[in-house]
Amino acid sequence: MVLLASASIHADDLTANLKMRDGTVRQFIMNSSSEIELQKSLLKVHAPVNPEYDVLFLLEDVSTLTFDSSVTGIQNLSEAVLSYRLDGDMLTISGITDCPFVKVYDLSGVLLSSVRVHEGSCILSLASLPKGMLLIKVNSQTIKILKR
C-alpha cells in the first residue's frame, strides 16, 4: 500500500481508483471539477485547472473505477498502487517499485526525460516537454498524458 504525501492532498481532491485488467491498481488524484470522458476506446480525464493536459487510459485495460474523497483516503485498497496527480505542469508519482528512474518518451519512442526515483516517488516537470502524447514508463506500466 502506498500513502500519498499529505501535503499534496487538497480539500476538494477526489481520488479515482482504476483497477486494471492486469491486476494492477492506478490512482489518479483529480479535482471535483474534473471530467471523465468515455470515448470509444478511451477513458480521458480532463481537469479545467490543468487545461493543457489530459490523462488517458485505454478502456479495454480498465476493469473497474471507484472514487474516494480525500477524507476517506485509500484505506480500502490492499493491492500495490501506482498513484499520480497532476498539479499545473508538475506530475507527482508515488508507489514506484523496482524502478530507479521514471522515463518519459514521445510516441516515436524517443526518450525525452529521465528522473530519478526517491523513496518510491518522483516529481516530473512536464513544462519543457513537447506537445503531443507523453508516455511515462514506471513500474512496467505506462502513464499516458496528452499535452496540448
Partner 1 sequence: MKYILLFISMAFALNVWSQTPIQVQTQTKEYNLSDAYRITFEDDGCTQVVHTRSQGEIRIPMADLKQIHFNDTAISLANQIMALENCEIMKTILFDDIPGLPSEFFWRYLNSPNVKLVLIPNDDAFLNIPTARLPLTLASYDLLSVSLDKNSNFPLQMKRYVFDPRTGEKGREMIGSRPSQTEIAGILQRLIVNQFLVGSDSPAYTVAGSFVNMENDIYEGTYRKWALQNGWANLPKINVIQQFEGSDGKVCKVTDAFVCETCLTTYDALKEIAPEFLKLMEVPTQFLLDCGYMDAAHVADVTFFKDMEQWNKFCWTSSCVSYTIFAPTDEAIETAINNKEVFTWDMIKEYKNSLQGNENADALLREKISKTLAFVKRHICFGNVLVDIPKGNTMRVMSCNILSTGVAQQVSITRDASSDGFAVSNAKSVPNSIRCVREPWKKNTSYFRNPFITLDMGTGVVMQINEAIANEY
Residues forming the site for partner 1 (CB under 8 A): 12, 14, 21, 32-42, 58-60, 62-67, 69, 105-109, 130-133, 135, 137, 142, 144
Please identify, using beta-carbon distances, which residue of 66 and 114 lies nearer to partner 1.
66
Least Cα distance to 28 among 81, 71, 76 occurs for 81
Q: Which amino acid is at 146?
A: L
71 CB contacts (<8 Å, ≥6 apart)? none
CA-CA distance, 56 to 92, in Å (whole number)?
Answer: 16
Please identify, using beta-carbon distances, which residue of 118 and 131 lies nearer to partner 1.
131
Please identify, using beta-carbon distances, which residue of 57 and 92 lies nearer to partner 1.
57
- Closest distance between partner 1 and the C-beta of residue 119, in Å? 25
